[in-house]
Structures are given as C-alpha cells and as structure tokens.
Structure 1
Amino acid sequence: MQIIEVTGYAVRSAVITMKRRETPMEFVIFPMLHVASPSFYAEVRRRLAACDIVVIEGVRGKSAALSALTLAYRFTPRRRRNGLQEQRQELLIPEDAQIVNPDVTAAEAVSDLKSLPRWQYLLLIAVAPVMGLVFALRGPSAFLDEDLEVEDLPSTLRAEMLADDPVHYALTDRRDKLLLDALSDIHTERGGEAIRVAVVYGAGHVPAVVTGLGQRHGYRPREAEWLTVLIPA
C-alpha cells in the first residue's frame, strides 16, 4: 500500500483511516508534501474540520541551519507560474481546531543534525539552496519523480535502506518518537470516545506512525482515499 503515488501526470497522497475493534476512536493520517497545489491544502483543511483533534508537524523556534535546509521547498512557490504553495498552518488548520504539536524545538533538530559527520552536515546546508533553485526552475515536474514514492510497509527494501541512512535518522528518529508518544497519550486518555484524531505530518513520517500505532495499540488501516497533491501544467 502506497502513501504517496507518483505517476506520469500527477502526485497523489493517500489519506489513511486507522481503527481498532476494541475502541471507537479513529486516527486519520494525512501524508503531506511541503509544496503542493492550493486545491490540495484546501481539501485537507475541509477534512480537518470534521476531526476533533489535529496533531500537526512543526518545529518550534527558529534556526539559521533549518532555514537553509527548508530553502529547498520555499523557493518553488515563489515562481507564480508553478501554481504551487508552501504548506503553512493558516492554509490547513480550521478555526477553533484543538491542536497538538509534539514536534522538536529548533535547537533539538539542529543538535540531531550536528550528530552527523561534519562533512555531511555542511553538505546538507550547502546543497539545500541549490536544490531549491532546481525545483523552482523545473516547477511541478520536479515532483513527478518515482523517488518521491513512499510506502507504508517498513519491511520493504526501500524502508530498510532509509532506516540505515544517517541523514534520515537525524531528521526523523526523535520526531517520530515524540509523535508516537503523543498519539499514545491521546489513545490512553480518550480512546473510549468516538472521536477522529487527524495526524498532519510529512509523508516520510507516516510509515513510523502506521507501524507504531499497530504495534503499540492494535490500530490497523481500514480505509484509504487518494487526494491529488499536484498536476503539472
């Protein structure tokens, strides 16, 4: 089962609903890309209005190093002809939504990145602006690449390779644990209620969420629906 599907004409994201027989609460997973069409973010916002709790990604605080890394997706929407937007909370979160933000602070994120070999850390910082320019010039076609595809089955060779990647580990490991701990707390406190809990995180975090909710509490994917992230002009 794929989380992000890349074809020759579009990129799609699978909204996954996870349930367990013993309790009525549902987790609705929204795999996100940080750059997408305005219609994608509008559709996610519409669906979030039907959820009782929104657990959302977002590093707290600021850092020059993190700003450099995010240039890779902040450049692309600046060219109007690309027809894309950068993901921002005001585009997604309905008014009066109950928000939970279990993400790391900027200082923690930078600390994890600096655990990489120094050459690798400096290379990341140097390459990000270049990648941003490439994405901006190529437009939506830059995202129509099979390398963007993400699967939710961590036993696949692709996921095993990612797990051994030190960059992937530094960028996601601590954040995945914090996210799963927050979801576990919600399950413990409100699992007996018939509520919908939205998880709005980058697609790269979703395999850990799907696996963790299953291993910790017995939640399983029961429904999935594709949303179109972007279509090239």
Structure 2
Amino acid sequence: MSDKPRLWTPKGWHAFEDGTAMAAACADRVAAIVESAIAERGHAVVAFPGGSTPVPAFELLARRPLDWSKVSILPGDDRIVDHDDPLSNFAMLDRYFGGTGARLIPLVDDVASGATHAESANRRLADLPWPPDLVWLGVGGDGHTASIFRGPDYREAIETEARALKVTPDPLPPEAPVARITLSVHAIRSARHRMVSLRGDDKRMVLLEALSDGYKSRFPVGVVFGSASGEVSGEFYWSPA
C-alpha cells in the first residue's frame, strides 16, 4: 500500500479511543436517523451489518425508546442458511431487535430454493418504502463490504439495478463457506444515509486506501463509496480495537 491513506481521511471520518465510545456514537447516529425518518415520512427502513463489530451498538440501540413499530430492519447481506443457523445475520438481528416491536425483514427464505433466493429477496424489498433511510455496513480485511467481494459475481453486484442479488465468494471464506444474498451497489448508494463501522488498524488502512482511490479502487468498499468526481459519500466510524 502507498503512504497516502496515512495522511488523508475523508469528510465524515470519526475516530474513537475504543470500541465502547464508537458503539455509543453509532447508536446515537442511527437513533437520530430513525427518529428523523419517522418524523418526516412516518416510518424508517434501515439495513444493518453482520459480524461482531456492531454488536455493542446494537445492545445500546435496542434499549432506545424509539417508535420501533414504525421501523423496518433488514440485514445488508446474509448467508444462504436457515434463520436459526449461527451464520445467519437475520438471526443476529432477531436476537437484538426481535423484542423491540420492529419489523424484521429477511433477505433469505428458509424455504426458497437456491435458484429463487434473489428473486424472493427482491420481491420482499419491493414491498418496502424505498430508498432506505440508512444502510450501515462493515468492511472486511480484504476490502469487501456487505457481501460484495471480488469474484465471479462482482461485476453484476456493481452494475445491476436490482436491489439484491445472489453472490458466491471465490474462494469461499473458511469461517462461512456458503453463498450469500447481498444488497447491490445500486441499492446501497440509493440510501439516504450510508455509514461504515470498523475496528483495527489493518482495516483502517484498507478502507482509507479504498476511499482515496474511489470508484477506481481495487477494493469493493472504495467502489461502493467513491465516485467519478473523487468525492466520498458516507460516514465512517473507527476505533483501534
């Protein structure tokens, strides 16, 4: 990597001393977006990330006295597994938000066949008010975000106007060797607000390099958040651990 990311941070970059402070800031920001959306449009549609990084923020957010009955929550991506599978991002959302009264929207059907998962997800998303008020994502050490990986489905993920698509990472990550359903770049970029949360210096350097290169980046997250004009659109929450 070049030294450029060490000297540059984009507009919307927020750095915190630790994960506790970052979680509180993320919970505050998401709550503010939800409250504003409900006040302006009577409902909020939000997509949340998987992984361990957002969990402390989920714990704080789920205790907020929001009008949860007017909130629809979906995963930004999910593994094609049953909803009770430990790999399911929907299961994680249900664990933290299932008791709030929010409407939880799965991307994956327990009963759908592999050939119809994307169609099923898109039919479900078509029933939601669109665009989403927030798409909140993570970023992997390889620069992927949601389940937008370099690989055989990468071009489709970038070019399709569908809200969701099926992707099969190549190679499959050993910790989760299954195909996924993910929001497309088009769907993510359509959101009124976009944010990323991440921990660790390695991921920070990957993200900053990706954002500095924008839509020409070799990393998917740079393509998602960059543009031909060189501007970066989003909010980025980072802590060292």
TM-score calculated relative to the size of structure 2: 0.34
By relative contact order (CA 8 Å, sep 6+), the higher-ranking structure is 1
Q: Which protein is richer in strand relative to its size?
A: 1
